């Protein structure tokens, strides 16, 4: 049995009464929801609400642009595959137009896949009246005007530049949360890009995470050198319904190939740390110092040392293990 309730009308909302629907337990258990699939890999589901955050310059936008293009071209990114192409609305609130253009051109030129679904981009340099704010009714209406049935992913890049409320005020997130839930109810996913604060955690109120399915943190490797270019680790901080290998942290490195094409090398962070431990061992560093250098537990370093000895990878002689 379906029950209905209507919101009382006010003078301001006269003629715009909202209708709410409730169902009994038996009817709800028998309701046939469409099966929930994944847009990209296991972490970006259909009707999913996701956040990716990182410190400045780590690669948030590059990550998001690659995700968006993989979706619109039914390609793959960092080993995560897209089964069916889907339309993307990418809303960038920060980057200069030429920079976004250059990055997208590089992504397209390096891909083996052609766009099969719409990729719509809103960027500040093309907006004489400024970017729409996702925490205002007017801004949400502007965004909604760009949506069609083909658009299944909305990328908000980023929260700081596309909202007007103070980041540490939980109530300021309420209209964005309501908008995101409406998009989910309409069959769309939303990918929020956000900044990390000085502590390394996402900046502002933690209330944002309440409704999210997945939260990914991009971080530099502990021994990162700017000469390495685009290298970051991806850590799962929230992963609703995921476990095991699906949530193991990975390290991604952008590699320039012959002809100017770019590709991504991916390995588990565990494997990456093992390589670093072996390298430092062979430079003569003792285990305690390696643990401090790489911010690893001493037991983890010890495990890597045993593995390295078994595989015959320790070539430096005459120092304490």
Largest CA distance in the chain: 85
List, for residues 126-136, the tens digit of each pLDDT value.
Answer: 999 999 999 99
Q: What angle do CA 252, 226, 281 make, to 5 degrees?
A: 75
Give 236's strand partners.
216
Tell me which residue of 63, 89, 87, 92 sits closest to 73, measured CA to CA: 87
The proportion of the chain whose per-residue pLDDT surpasses 70, expressed as a percent, equals: 92
Report pLDDT for 232: 96
- Say yes or no to pLDDT of 276 above 90: no
Is the link from the previous residue into 286 a cis peptide, with omega within 30 of 0? Answer: no
For all residues of the chain together, what is the average pLDDT?
88
The Cα–Cα gap between 131 and 122 comes to 8
The Cα–Cα gap between 279 and 264 comes to 23
Q: Is the Cα torsion angle 293, 294, 298, 304 positive or negative in sign?
A: negative
Asked if 58 contacts 218 with a C-beta cutoff of 8 angstroms, the reply is yes
Start-to-end C-alpha separation, the chain: 70
Asked if 60 contacts 54 with a C-beta cutoff of 8 angstroms, the reply is yes
Cβ neighbours for 59, distance < 8 A, ≥ 6 positions apart: 218, 230, 232
The Cα–Cα gap between 112 and 243 comes to 31
List, for residues 149-168, the tens digit of each pLDDT value.
Answer: 999 999 999 999 999 877 77
> Strand 189-195 vs strand 119-122: parallel, antiparallel, or unpaired?
unpaired
- Using CA atoms, how far residue 128 sits from 125, 139, 210, in Å, is 8, 15, 35
- Among all chains, which residue has been given the structure tokens 């949400």? 140
This prediction has a pTM of 0.82
Give 53's strand partners.
194, 217
- Among all chains, which residue has been given the structure tokens 């397209």? 108
List, for residues 96-147, the tens digit of each pLDDT value.
Answer: 999 999 999 999 999 999 999 999 999 999 999 999 999 999 999 999 999 9
């Amino acid at each position: 049995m379906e029950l209905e309730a209507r919101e009382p009308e006010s003078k301001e909302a006269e003629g715009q009464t909202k209708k709410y629907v409730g169902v009994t337990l038996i009817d709800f258990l028998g309701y046939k929801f469409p099966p929930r699939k994944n847009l990209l890999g296991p972490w970006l589901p259909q009707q999913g609400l996701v956040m990716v955050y990182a410190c400045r310059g780590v690669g948030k936008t590059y990550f998001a642009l690659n995700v968006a293009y993989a979706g619109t071209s039914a390609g793959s990114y960092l080993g995560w595959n897209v089964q069916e192409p889907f339309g993307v609305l990418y809303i960038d609130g920060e980057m200069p137009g030429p920079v976004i253009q250059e990055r997208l051109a590089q992504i397209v030129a390096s891909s083996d896949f052609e766009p099969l679904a719409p990729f719509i981009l809103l960027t500040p340099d093309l907006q004489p009246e400024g970017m729409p704010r996702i925490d205002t009714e007017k801004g949400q209406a502007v965004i909604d005007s760009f949506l069609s049935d083909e658009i299944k992913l909305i990328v908000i890049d980023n929260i700081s530049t596309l909202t007007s409320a103070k980041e540490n005020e939980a109530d300021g997130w309420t209209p964005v949360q309501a908008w995101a839930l409406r998009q989910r109810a309409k069959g769309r996913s939303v990918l929020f890009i956000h900044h990390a604060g000085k502590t390394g955690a996402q900046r502002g109120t933690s209330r944002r995470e309440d409704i999210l399915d997945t939260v990914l943190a991009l971080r530099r490797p502990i021994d990162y050198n700017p000469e390495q270019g685009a290298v970051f680790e991806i850590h799962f901080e929230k992963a609703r319904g995921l476990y095991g290998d699906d949530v193991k942290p990975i390290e991604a490195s952008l590699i320039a190939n012959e002809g100017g094409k770019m590709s991504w090398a991916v390995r588990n962070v565990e494997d990456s740390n093992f390589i670093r431990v072996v390298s430092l061992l062979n430079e003569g560093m003792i285990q305690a110092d390696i643990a401090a250098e790489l911010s690893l537990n001493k037991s983890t370093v010890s495990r890597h040392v045993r593995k390295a000895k078994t595989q015959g990878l320790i070539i430096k002689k005459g120092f304490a293990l």
